[in-house]
């Protein structure tokens, strides 16, 4: 980890953090790049109180935070479906631009071996996660091309219904709508292309359908859990068990609004959700997906990705074992990549 901030963490926490290959399963920094011309190669500072909404991550702060790999969210407007697939392509090309602009710092990496090779070379591994199957443009024909461009998971729905699935919240939300025939075909195609089926934002019926239908482990890239705090955004214990039964992982979001009763709060709220996942399905099925830069208010003590060692400190203070912490920060996601992506 490149030293930057003087964080109040113990030598034990820092040593453990620095020695762990950390994977963030969802970071939306390309939103700021798309709409505001944000330069991810520069170290930024959010000068607004509480680091609201954006400006949580960039390559220098990922390095300071000790991140080994990160999934960059690929967001496509649901209102422009005819141009959805070309937009997805442009976003993935934007991600490739990170590696072109800073080849000594980041590299596209889509398998476990490639992520570990990136770590060994001192670089951060990047891969893409498409938020909503509408970004495929209503066809499965683009999957191999998008995989070749670095896409490694597809979220079946975002905040709108699409040809595959229905969201858990937003326009057209319906908890009882199953996956469509196209949705089941998409799950099969993702399995065949060695890409992850992501169930963040997906309605409950579609979520359970996908877990039952997938022949490979699934992922929930950024979520809270209802057993720790009951929110419309969070999944219940039955959903946790359904994911674990596939061999998959559930990545806990860093947004306090979904983790507790207030829009602000400490990162210990996220640790409560992590511990709940472990208590229900064991230590092999939990991960982290920050949702930094995803229009969230981050934890008060973890305002950006450079502060990530604070999470490790908090997990140690909670009584989690070193093995549990290593698995949560990256080990379980690496296993998932090995099982699914190669």
Cβ atoms of 281 and 327 within 8 Å: the answer is no
Sign of dihedral through CA atoms 234, 237, 239, 245? positive
The pLDDT value given to residue 241: 98
Phi first, then psi: give them for residue 138, nearest 5 degrees. Answer: 80, 15
Question: Helices 237-246 and 268-281, interaxial angle, to 10°?
Answer: 60
Model confidence, pTM: 0.96
Residue 4 in any domain: the answer is: no
Sign of dihedral through CA atoms 56, 80, 213, 173? positive
Residue 67 in any domain: the answer is: yes
CATH number, domain at 316?
A: 3.20.20.140
The pLDDT value given to residue 4: 58
The pLDDT value given to residue 3: 52
Count of domains forming the chain: 1
Task: Give the C-alpha separation, 185 to 177, whole Å.
Answer: 16
Sign of dihedral through CA atoms 286, 334, 111, 124? positive
Find residue 296's DSSP bridge partners. 53
pLDDT digits (tens, 9 = 90+) for 283-325: 999 999 999 999 999 999 999 999 999 999 999 999 999 999 9
Residue 6 in any domain: the answer is: no
The pLDDT value given to residue 98: 98
Mean pLDDT estimate for the chain: 95
Residue 2 in any domain: the answer is: no
Length of the chain: 342
Task: Give the C-alpha separation, 55 to 47, whole Å.
Answer: 9
Residue 251 in any domain: the answer is: yes
Q: Domain range for residue 86?
A: 11-340
For the chain, which residues score pLDDT lower than 50? 1
Cβ atoms of 98 and 59 within 8 Å: the answer is yes
Residue 1 in any domain: the answer is: no
Residue 104 in any domain: the answer is: yes
């Amino acid at each position: 980890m490149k030293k930057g901030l003087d964080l109040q963490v113990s030598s034990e926490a820092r040593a453990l953090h620095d020695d762990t290959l950390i994977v963030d399963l969802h970071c939306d920094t390309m939103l700021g790049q798309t709409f505001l011309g944000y330069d991810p190669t520069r170290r930024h500072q959010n000068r607004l109180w509480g680091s609201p909404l954006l400006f949580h991550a960039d390559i220098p702060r990922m390095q300071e935070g000790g991140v080994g790999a990160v999934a960059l969210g690929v967001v496509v407007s649901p209102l422009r479906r005819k141009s959805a697939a070309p937009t997805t392509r442009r976003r993935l090309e934007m991600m490739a631009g990170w590696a072109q602009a800073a080849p000594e710092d980041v590299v596209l990496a889509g398998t476990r071996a490639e992520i570990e090779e990136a770590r060994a070379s001192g670089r951060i591994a990047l891969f893409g996660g498409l938020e909503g199957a509408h970004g495929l443009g209503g066809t499965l024909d683009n999957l191999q091309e998008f995989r070749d461009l670095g896409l490694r998971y597809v979220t079946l729905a975002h905040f709108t219904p699409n040809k595959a699935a229905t969201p858990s919240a937003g326009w057209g939300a319906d908890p009882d709508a199953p996956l469509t025939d196209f949705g089941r075909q998409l799950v099969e195609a993702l399995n065949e292309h060695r890409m992850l089926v992501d169930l963040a934002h997906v309605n409950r019926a579609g979520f359970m359908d996908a877990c039952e239908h997938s022949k490979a482990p699934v992922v929930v890239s950024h979520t809270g859990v209802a057993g720790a705090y009951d929110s419309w955004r969070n999944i219940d214990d039955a959903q946790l068990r359904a994911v674990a039964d596939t061999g998959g992982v559930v990545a806990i979001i860093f947004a306090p609004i979904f983790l507790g009763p207030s829009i602000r709060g400490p990162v210990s709220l996220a640790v409560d959700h992590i511990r709940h996942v472990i208590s229900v399905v064991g230590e092999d099925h939990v991960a982290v997906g920050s949702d930094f830069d995803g229009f969230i208010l981050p934890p008060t003590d973890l305002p950006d990705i450079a502060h990530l060692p604070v999470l490790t400190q908090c997990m140690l203070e909670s009584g989690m074992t070193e093995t549990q912490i290593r698995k949560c920060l990256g080990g379980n996601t690496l296993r998932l990549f090995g099982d699914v992506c190669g």
